[in-house]
Structure formats: C-alpha cells, structure tokens
Amino acid sequence: MIKSFIRDIQLYKSYKKSHILKIFLDISIYMVLLYRISNFFYRNHIFIVAKIFWLLNRLLFCIDIDPGAKLGPGLRLVHPMSIVIGRDVISEGDLVVYQNVTIGGSNNKTSEYNGQIIKQPYFKKNVILYASSVIIGPIIIGKNTTVAANATITKDVEDNNIAFGFNKTKSNVTHNA
C-alpha cells in the first residue's frame, strides 16, 4: 500500500511539476489515499473496515472506488467527481482518471488475459481516461492508450491507441502520460 501511494504521489508530482506541499493541498490525493487504505483492509479480509473507508470516500468526495478494485501504483484522479470504479477492475499502474468516468460492469461475462479470468476492464500501464468516458465489460485496454471524453468502450483496445466514440480507435504514437 505504501509503495503504491508513493508512486501515486510521484505521478501527481510529475504532472504538477511542483513542490510536494502543493500535492498534499490537492484534495484528490486524499481520495486516492482513502482508496488505498480501503483496498489494504479488503485484501486482508477486514471487509467492514474496508467498507468504512469506501464510505468515507463516497460521502466526502462523491466517488465510488470499490475496495476490491486492483489499481496498481500511479493512480491519479483529475477533477474527481462522480467517478465509479468496479470491484473487479484491474490496472497495472499509471492510470489517470478524469471526472464522471465509469469503469466496470460485465453482465456476468468473463474473459481471459495472461492466464487470469477478468470480469471487468483490465488496464495496462500508462492509460488516460478523459471526462465522462465509460469503459465496461471484461476487456483489455492497451498500454499508452487514451480514452477520449464521452467515449463508450466495450471492446479491447490495442497498445498505443486513442479510443473514442463508440468502440472506435486510431493509432496514437505521441501518447505521453
């Protein structure tokens, strides 16, 4: 948990290019911290405490990141309001999420990736999800991928792509998250 949170701070610092004090004045770092604490208790099967920290995030900040979501180091929330991240979402790391993003849902469908069953989106490293995007189903979002604002993605997206509209993609060779 601590290593993940340190990477979260490093990602914030790389974007803000500012002193560490400014980062701790950014309210979204506390949302990430509450998620990390909630996830820690969830992984250690102390579910009631995990739910308490989840509830704090929900009540204080209007975001719903399930304690069971496996979000790797480098989670950054930008203008974080109305973000929903489901229990079975997996991120390898360096995931940037803007406001009003929904990630989850599978209608009990499953897929397989690297020998593991996935039920909700799996994000490789270095992915940006812009405002009001919806990513649902057991799909893989490739590394260095950008999901445009208002996009709805229900199919796999290959590495180094921009996803937009309804399941449309184009090559993105200039992605710098």
- The parent domain of residue 114 ranges over 2-171
- Average pLDDT (31-58) is 97
CA distance 43 to 137: 23
Lowest mean pLDDT among 21-30, 78-87, 98-107, 137-146: 21-30
In-domain check, residue 177: no
In-domain check, residue 102: yes
CA distance 135 to 127: 12
pLDDT of amino acid 73: 94
Choose between 173 and 139: higher pLDDT: 139
In-domain check, residue 93: yes
Flag whether pLDDT at 156 surpasses 70. yes
Tokens 């989850």 sit at which residue? 104
Residue 176: pLDDT band (50, 70, 90) is: low
- Average pLDDT (11-30) is 72
Q: What is the DSSP letter of 157?
A: B
In-domain check, residue 115: yes
pTM above threshold 0.75: yes
pLDDT of amino acid 157: 97
pLDDT above 90 covers a percentage of the chain that reads 76
Q: How many structural domains is the chain composed of?
A: 1
In-domain check, residue 72: yes
Q: Are residues 157 and 126 in contact, defined by beta-carbon separation less than 8 angstroms?
A: no
CATH of the domain at 112: 2.160.10.10
CA distance 163 to 81: 22
Alpha helices in 44-153 (DSSP H): 47-61
In-domain check, residue 176: no
In-domain check, residue 52: yes
Choose between 100 and 177: higher pLDDT: 100
pLDDT of amino acid 21: 67
